[in-house]
Amino acid sequence: MTLSFFDQFMSPTLLGIPLIALALTLPWVLFPQPSTRWMNNRLLTLQNWFVSRFTQQIFQPINLPGHKWALILTSLMLFLISLNMLGLLPYTFTPTTQLSLNMALAVPLWLATVIIGMRTQPTHALGHLLPEGTPTLLIPILIIIETISLFIRPLALGVRLTANLTAGHLLIQLIATAAFVLLPIMPTTAILTSILLLLLTLLEVAVAMIQAYVFVLLLSLYLQENV
């Protein structure tokens, strides 16, 4: 029983071919495409409003050179939200519960922000490793601590997204299994458990959107430090 709870996080395969590539490609097919008409439909208008509001909020505190990242961070936000939301549907696979995928997204983008900081303003970028006014005896220790915290950032990005989604999926499956088992024995308890399951599902919808936003928001903060 314990192993079956974690089977949902295994990458599905067909004839030995992993289908995670199909799961990563599917969200792009669902997005509404821009039309040649003068007036957009409601779905496209809503998507354009969301993208414009999100871009404005994320890049408002960032300097003008950092606005070149608007396309990639907005696309990443839509991509993560789509993967997280589609993963809540029954009999679907959530690629963002895989730590390898989340690290593959976090490490290159974090490394790009660090490289940009080292190229454009190396003194300011290295200055983050040593706060101003540090006592002389604490300088070597603080440099080591700040360096470790710098390299932990991409790991924290990937682990945060993986842990939150994995915990949510496990809770949903545990409560759904409990409601199914209790239904013939204690119907009233099963109904209450089903109500709890519904509330938890609504919470997981919010978590799926919030975690995608937090992932991109932290990347924008790293970019803000280095631009």
- Taking residues 78-90, report their average pLDDT: 89
- Taking residues 182-192, report their average pLDDT: 88
Confidence of residue 49 (pLDDT cuts 50, 70, 90): confident
Residues of the chain above pLDDT 90, percent: 29
Residue 103 has what pLDDT? Answer: 93
Residues of the chain above pLDDT 70, percent: 96
Residue 6 has what pLDDT? Answer: 66
SS3 category, 18: strand
Q: Does pLDDT of 2 surpass 70?
A: no
* Cβ partners under 8 Å of residue 71, min gap 6: none
Instruction: Look at 128 and 221; give whichever has higher pLDDT.
Output: 221
Confidence of residue 1 (pLDDT cuts 50, 70, 90): very low
- Taking residues 152-173, report their average pLDDT: 91
What is the β-pairing status of strands 13-14 and 17-18?
A: antiparallel
How is residue 57 written in tokens? 């909020």
Calculate Rg over the CA atoms of the chain.
22
- Taking residues 167-174, report their average pLDDT: 88
Residue 214 has what pLDDT? Answer: 93
- Taking residues 49-56, report their average pLDDT: 88
Q: Does pLDDT of 76 surpass 60?
A: yes
Residue pair 129/115 in contact (Cβ under 8 Å)? The answer is: no
